[in-house]
Structure 1
Amino acid sequence: MKNNYFLAFLSAFLLWLAWPPIPYTSILLFIGFVPLLIAVENIIRGDYKKKGRKIFGLAFLTGVVWNTGSIYWVYNAMHAYLDAFTSLMIALIPFTLAPLLMALAFRLYYQMRKRNNILLSFMGLISFWIAYEYLHQSWELSFPWMTLGNGFANFHQLVQWYSITGVYGGTLWIWISNVLIFLWYWQRKEKVEVYSQKIILGVLSAWLIIPALSSLIIYSTYEEHVNPSEIVTVQPNIDPFQKWGTITPEEQLKILTDLSQKVAKLNTEFFIWPETAISGDNGINEDEFREYSQYREVLNFLEPYHNGNVLSGIESYVIYDDQKTLTTRAIGNVFYDSFNAGVLIDGSSKLQFYHKSKLVPGAEKMPFGKALSVLTPLFKHFGGTTGGYGSQAEPSVFYSASGIGAAPVICYESIWGNYVAQYIKKGAQFIAVITNDGWWGDTSGKDQHLQYAKLRAIENRRWVVRSANTGISGFINQRGDIVQKSSWWVPTALSQEINLNEDLTFYTKYSDLIVYLSFVTSLLSIGLMIVRKK
């Protein structure tokens, strides 16, 4: 088994090396699972007891090492508040949860191999894997950071066809490549030819070259429709660990307006400010926001800009007459919901609010409601907020007085391709990602978050304007190129003329068709596992 453990570690190393933000290493994803597949095949064909458990263990080992190496910054966020042991215990949840699901996919693959040929079994493995990825972006413990297709964020020139398939097209591309390479290697190693080696190499070459070449052609020939809008994005660089106590909401607002004015033009239409940029001592009452000094200061700031709008993050709450939702809190006879929200302010008295929907498990919501409420103290500092935020079911678009539609995507939400696409279907002409990545420190977490935004730009062919409190802020065009970006931990503002777009891509219209197909093949695979082979 020692050799098999080595192969499992080798797969983890290759997958880690291929993962953002390391540039141009994504091609290693095409071979990343091959060592693990060899180890699994060694067990299947070897004289081992409890083969299913051993395969599960090897796949879990690969997943844990790969995940931990890629998202180690989760521990960094914990350790800023807690002691090393407690931080590690909490970080183990994202480090191990996805690998458990990955290992389950391999365990089911082994069950298929008992009754079916290797090609049908690989169909099952790929289907189970995609089903796991979709589950991990849909359930209460969602954390789709490590979806395989995200791995091409650091080499986006190769995946311009994400405008058709989304990131699950990347997952499929990676897995079929690994399977074909494994089949070719194994037959060569064992000196057998159940399937023609020439056909395998031919299919592999076409499978690798055609998507890559097509993407490069799309990338080099794609032209944006000229529909300009002047945008400013601001990075105030306020330390999130010291924000509450060392700086007042008024001082924070002054930093934002001062930075904005340094680069603004008279025709600037949107000023994008980061997550929770507008706040009060106890949050902002949305129904009474017009009475707050912060609102009046924003209106004064906007006076020189006749078409100007401020799209900002805001800490807000809404008061109810009685219990409205599962997250509604009560102080005496007063019921309210707190929100991590976005707001659009223009020169009129009109206000538009959006309540973040994709909440961070533990940090902003308690997964599975009351069933896990006992874990609230453990989750308290995950991301710097406390659990129990309210949310809204669907995204909503902010519209300026001139009719421009903006997608207010708050932090964590930018990882969901299908969710961001809903903004676009509702009329968003550009994507505004407002976030605060300072919780993770100067780690690869902030860089990965920036890189993933490139994929949203490609999927929907929309500019992405990113405003991050402590970095990295910037502009991404419709091809996924980072046109401008700020430095880490530097207060700044950037100005850019972007092109608005109203056309809908195939992906925007039809979302994750590959997932739906994988559900069908997963059910068929389970049926093949159950039906007794004649």
Structure 2
Amino acid sequence: MKQNYLLAITSAFILWLAWPPIPYTGILLLAAFVPLLVAIENIIRGNYEKKGAKIFQLAFLTGFLWNTASIYWVFNAMNAFLPTAVSLFIALIPYALAPLLMALVFRLYYQMRKRQAIGISFIGLVSLWIGYEYLHQSWGLAFPWMNLGNGLSNVHQLVQWYSITGVYGGTLWIWITNIFAFLLYWQYKHKIAAFSQQTLLISLSVIIIVPIATSLIQYVNYEEHINPSEIVVVQPNIDPYQKFGSISPEEQLNKLIELSASVAKPNTEFFLWPETAISDRNGIHEEDFRAYPAYEKSTEFLEKYHNGNILSGIESYSIYADQKTLTARPYGNKYIDSFNAAVLIDGSSKVQFYHKSKLVPGVEQMPFGQALSFMKPLFEHFGGTTGGYGYDKEPSVFYSQSGIGAAPVICYESIWGQYVAEYIKKGAQFIAIVTNDGWWKNTSGKDQHLAYAKLRAIENRRWVARSANTGISGFINQRGDIVQNTAWWAPAALSQEINLNEELTIYTRYGDLIAYLGLLGCLSSLLLLLIPGSKRKKLA
């Protein structure tokens, strides 16, 4: 078993090496699972007891090491508030939960190998993996950060076809290449030919070369339709751990306006300010927002810009006469909902709000209701509310007076490809991401978050304007290239002429079709596990 554990660790190392933010290594994902598949095959064919348990252990080891090495910054964020032992305990949730699901996928794959032909078993493996990824972006503990297709964001030139498939196309591609590479290696090593080596080699070459060549042709030949708009993104660089301790809301607003004015042009149409940029010590009542000094100062600033709009993050709340939503909490004889929101301010009296929908488990919402209520005091340290934030059920588009549609994507939401595509289907001509990546300090978390935004640009062929409080702000064009970006931990503002786009990609129109096909395959695989199969075709 020692050799098998080394193989599992090798897969974990390759997966980590291939993962953002390490540049240009994403191509390694096309063979990263081969050592683990070899280790699992050794167990399947070896003289071992409790083979299923051993396969589960190996797969969990790979997943745990890969996840922990790639998202170590989760612990960093918590350790700023909590004792090391407590921080480590909580960090084990994201570090271990996804690996447990991954290990379950391989355990079910082993069960299929005992009942079905190897080809059907591999189809089951891929389908079950896609099912795991879909589950992990849909349930109460959603954290799709480590979905395989995201790993190709550091070689975005090679996945321009995400405009058709989205990130699940990347997951599928990675798994198909790994399976063919494994078959080639295994048959060569053991000098067997259950499948034609020549056919496998040709197939693998085609599977790798055709998508890459197609993508590079798309990348080189893609031309943006000229439809310019001048955008400013602002990075005020306010330490989130010291907010209201070192700077007042009024000083923060003054800083945002000063930075905006430093790069603004007479034709600037959008000023993008980061998550929670507009705030008040007691929050901002949405119905009374026009009476707040922040609104008055913002509109005064916009008087210099004929078509100017401020799209900003805001900490807001609404008060209801009765419990209008599940997240509303008692507030005297009424109810109150708190929001991590975005607001659009223009030169008129019209104000548009959007409430963040994809909430961070624990930090912004309590997953599974009362089941984890004992952890509320710990989660409050991350800015969450004891009752959880309110949210909108679907995305909404902000429209300027001139008719430009902007997608107000708030932080964590930018990881969900199909959710962002819904903004575009509703008329958004560019993607405006407002975020605050300073919670993670100077770790790879901020770089990964920026890299994933490149995939949203490709999927929808929309420019991304990104304003981060203490992260990396910048602009990404429709090919996924980072055109401008700020330094880390430095106040800055950038101005960029982007091209608006109204055309819809195949992915924007139809979303995660590959995920839905994978779910169908996942369900079929689970049904096959209940049906005795014919003797499988062995690699021997």
Report the TM-score when normalising by structure 1: 0.99
Give the 3-state SS of the residue equivalent to 1:21 in structure 2: coil
Give the 3-state SS of the residue equivalent to 1:163 in structure 2: helix
Give the 3-state SS of the residue equivalent to 1:210 in structure 2: helix
2:537 maps to what in 1?
none
TM-superposed deviation, 1:194: 0.4
TM-superposed deviation, 1:322: 1.1
1:241 maps to what in 2?
241
TM-superposed deviation, 1:365: 0.2
2:129 maps to what in 1?
129
2:402 matches 1:406:
no
2:347 matches 1:355:
no
- CA distance in structure 2 between the partners assigned to 1:366 and 1:494 by the alignment: 36
2:342 matches 1:335:
no
2:415 matches 1:415:
yes
Counterpart amino acid of residue 95 in structure 1: Y
Counterpart amino acid of residue 384 in structure 2: T
Partner deviation per Cα, 1:410-452 (whole Å, 9 max, x = no partner): 0000000000000000000000000000000000000000000
- CA distance in structure 1 between the partners assigned to 2:529 and 2:278 by the alignment: 55
Give the 3-state SS of the residue equivalent to 2:488 in structure 1: coil
2:99 maps to what in 1?
99
The answer to which of 93-102 and 323-332 deviates more is 323-332
CA contact (8 A) 1:90 1:379 kept: no
2:385 matches 1:386:
yes
- What root-mean-square deviation, in Å, do the aligned CA atoms of Structure 1 and Structure 2 show? 0.8
- CA distance in structure 1 between the partners assigned to 2:113 and 2:454 by the alignment: 38
Counterpart amino acid of residue 373 in structure 2: S
- CA distance in structure 2 between the partners assigned to 1:283 and 1:533 by the alignment: 61
CA contact (8 A) 1:149 1:169 kept: yes
- CA distance in structure 1 between the partners assigned to 2:115 and 2:410 by the alignment: 47
1:449 maps to what in 2?
449
After superposition, where does 1:35-434 map in structure 2 within 5 Å?
35-382=35-382, 384-387=383-386, 388-434=388-434
Partner deviation per Cα, 1:52-93 (whole Å, 9 max, x = no partner): 111011101100000000000000000111111011011100
TM-superposed deviation, 1:516: 1.1
- CA distance in structure 2 between the partners assigned to 1:144 and 1:454 by the alignment: 16
Question: Any stretches of 5+ residues in structure 2 without a counterpart?
Answer: 535-540
CA contact (8 A) 2:232 2:496 kept: yes
2:34 matches 1:30:
no
- CA distance in structure 1 between the partners assigned to 2:359 and 2:244 by the alignment: 21
Give the 3-state SS of the residue equivalent to 2:277 in structure 1: coil
1:527 maps to what in 2?
527
- CA distance in structure 2 between the partners assigned to 1:434 and 1:367 by the alignment: 24
TM-superposed deviation, 1:386: 3.3
Give the 3-state SS of the residue equivalent to 1:516 in structure 2: helix
- CA distance in structure 1 between the partners assigned to 2:533 and 2:254 by the alignment: 72
2:465 matches 1:475:
no
1:489 maps to what in 2?
489
- CA distance in structure 2 between the partners assigned to 1:255 and 1:314 by the alignment: 15
Counterpart amino acid of residue 18 in structure 1: A
- CA distance in structure 2 between the partners assigned to 1:260 and 1:351 by the alignment: 20
Counterpart amino acid of residue 37 in structure 1: L
- CA distance in structure 2 between the partners assigned to 1:236 and 1:523 by the alignment: 48
Give the 3-state SS of the residue equivalent to 1:381 in structure 2: helix
Count of matched residue pairs: 533
- CA distance in structure 1 between the partners assigned to 2:155 and 2:255 by the alignment: 35
Counterpart amino acid of residue 409 in structure 2: V
1:516 maps to what in 2?
516
Partner deviation per Cα, 1:301-342 (whole Å, 9 max, x = no partner): 101001000000000000000112221111321311000000
CA contact (8 A) 2:362 2:384 kept: no
CA contact (8 A) 1:12 1:63 kept: yes
CA contact (8 A) 2:432 2:465 kept: yes
Identity %: 71
Give the 3-state SS of the residue equivalent to 1:530 in structure 2: coil
Partner deviation per Cα, 1:158-217 (whole Å, 9 max, x = no partner): 000000000000000000000000001101111110000000000000000000000000
Counterpart amino acid of residue 385 in structure 2: T
TM-superposed deviation, 1:371: 2.2
- CA distance in structure 2 between the partners assigned to 1:486 and 1:465 by the alignment: 12
Give the 3-state SS of the residue equivalent to 2:316 in structure 1: strand
Question: Any stretches of 5+ residues in structure 1 without a counterpart?
Answer: none
TM-superposed deviation, 1:246: 1.9
TM-superposed deviation, 1:370: 1.9
Counterpart amino acid of residue 54 in structure 1: K
- CA distance in structure 2 between the partners assigned to 1:479 and 1:445 by the alignment: 23
- CA distance in structure 1 between the partners assigned to 2:10 and 2:385 by the alignment: 38
TM-superposed deviation, 1:244: 2.3
CA contact (8 A) 2:320 2:335 kept: yes
- CA distance in structure 2 between the partners assigned to 1:114 and 1:202 by the alignment: 29
Report the TM-score when normalising by structure 2: 0.98
TM-superposed deviation, 1:290: 0.4
Give the 3-state SS of the residue equivalent to 2:47 in structure 1: coil
- CA distance in structure 2 between the partners assigned to 1:386 and 1:149 by the alignment: 32
Counterpart amino acid of residue 475 in structure 1: F
Give the 3-state SS of the residue equivalent to 2:132 in structure 1: helix
TM-superposed deviation, 1:4: 0.6
TM-superposed deviation, 1:119: 1.2
The answer to which of 198-207 and 513-522 deviates more is 513-522
The answer to which of 182-191 and 158-167 deviates more is 182-191
CA contact (8 A) 2:160 2:479 kept: yes
- CA distance in structure 2 between the partners assigned to 1:73 and 1:12 by the alignment: 18
- CA distance in structure 2 between the partners assigned to 1:459 and 1:425 by the alignment: 12
Counterpart amino acid of residue 479 in structure 2: R
Partner deviation per Cα, 1:476-513 (whole Å, 9 max, x = no partner): 00000000000000101000000000000000000011
- CA distance in structure 1 between the partners assigned to 2:137 and 2:229 by the alignment: 33
Give the 3-state SS of the residue equivalent to 1:282 in structure 2: coil
TM-superposed deviation, 1:379: 2.1
Partner deviation per Cα, 1:125-182 (whole Å, 9 max, x = no partner): 0000001001100111000000000001111000000000000000000000000000
Counterpart amino acid of residue 359 in structure 2: L
CA contact (8 A) 2:365 2:384 kept: no
Counterpart amino acid of residue 333 in structure 2: N
Counterpart amino acid of residue 77 in structure 1: A
Counterpart amino acid of residue 484 in structure 1: Q
- CA distance in structure 1 between the partners assigned to 2:389 and 2:521 by the alignment: 37
Partner deviation per Cα, 1:370-425 (whole Å, 9 max, x = no partner): 2221121232234x433510001000000000000000000000000000000000
CA contact (8 A) 1:474 1:486 kept: yes
TM-superposed deviation, 1:35: 0.5
Counterpart amino acid of residue 412 in structure 1: Y
CA contact (8 A) 1:263 1:493 kept: yes
TM-superposed deviation, 1:525: 1.7
